[in-house]
Structure 1
């Protein structure tokens, strides 16, 4: 039986990550990353986590199911979980306060979106299993080629 209720609105895409230490991962995601526990199955060590700004992820204790190959740290090689927030500077401050090292320090980054440039304040950290997490705040758009 689960604790809490599933989100009223499920995200249309959601990362579901296998973890080696469920309590440590839960503390990381609900601590400095700012997610809240939306739903938990304690017997399965599974949690659906929701961020106040709208992102959702699931974590669960590795159980041998769905492992498509050897699991070695860092997990999720080639995967970046993006979490958009309203205030990236505040999120970075929580990381610093928690002693979480930055994989990429906070920065402003502008990228080609095809017909325009999109900007964001962003930083990257790794969760306890090495999953790479980009925390970003959208800061605007501008015409292509504008610096």
Structure 2
């Protein structure tokens, strides 16, 4: 039986990550990345995690189900999980303090949004299974140059 409650509101699109060491992954996501357990199924090594800003992700111990091909580290090749936070510098410091080296260091990035530029401070880090996670804080918008 599960403990806790699904987050409110429940995201209409949520990533569910297969992990090779559930306790290690749970410690990473709830430690330096600052997620909390909203709902879990302890007997299945499954947790739905959330952040106060609304980001949600599920993790569960690999069990052979739903694997569409060989699982070789790093997992998630070709996918980036984006997490928007209210204080990216605080999360960056927590990641560094945990001994994890970012894949891409903290930077300011402005991207073309069609009729304007959208900015954010961001860094990228790999979780214990190699999933690439972009942690970002929006900076706002500005006109195209």
TM range (shorter): over 0.9
Deviation at 1:74, TM superposition (A): 0.3
Aligned twin of 1:99: 99
Aligned twin of 2:144: 144
Q: Deviations over 1:73-112 (max 9, x none)?
A: 0000000000000011111011111111110000000000
For the residues of structure 1 that align with 2:132 and 2:88, how far apart are their CA atoms? 16
Aligned twin of 1:128: 128
For the residues of structure 2 that align with 1:50 and 1:89, how far apart are their CA atoms? 19
Q: Map 1:1-147; keep pairs closer than 5 Å.
A: 1-145=1-145
For the residues of structure 2 that align with 1:89 and 1:106, how far apart are their CA atoms? 8
Q: Segments of 4+ in structure 1 off by > 3 A? A: none
Say which SS state the counterpart of residue 93 (structure 1) adopts: helix
Deviation at 1:47, TM superposition (A): 0.2
Q: What number of residue pairs does the alignment pair up? A: 145
For the residues of structure 1 that align with 2:141 and 2:5, how far apart are their CA atoms? 37
TM-score (norm. length: structure 1): 0.97
> Cα RMSD between the aligned structures?
0.6
For the residues of structure 1 that align with 2:126 and 2:53, how far apart are their CA atoms? 20
Deviation at 1:56, TM superposition (A): 0.1
Unaligned runs of 5+ in 2: none
For the residues of structure 2 that align with 1:4 and 1:15, how far apart are their CA atoms? 19
TM-score (norm. length: structure 2): 0.99
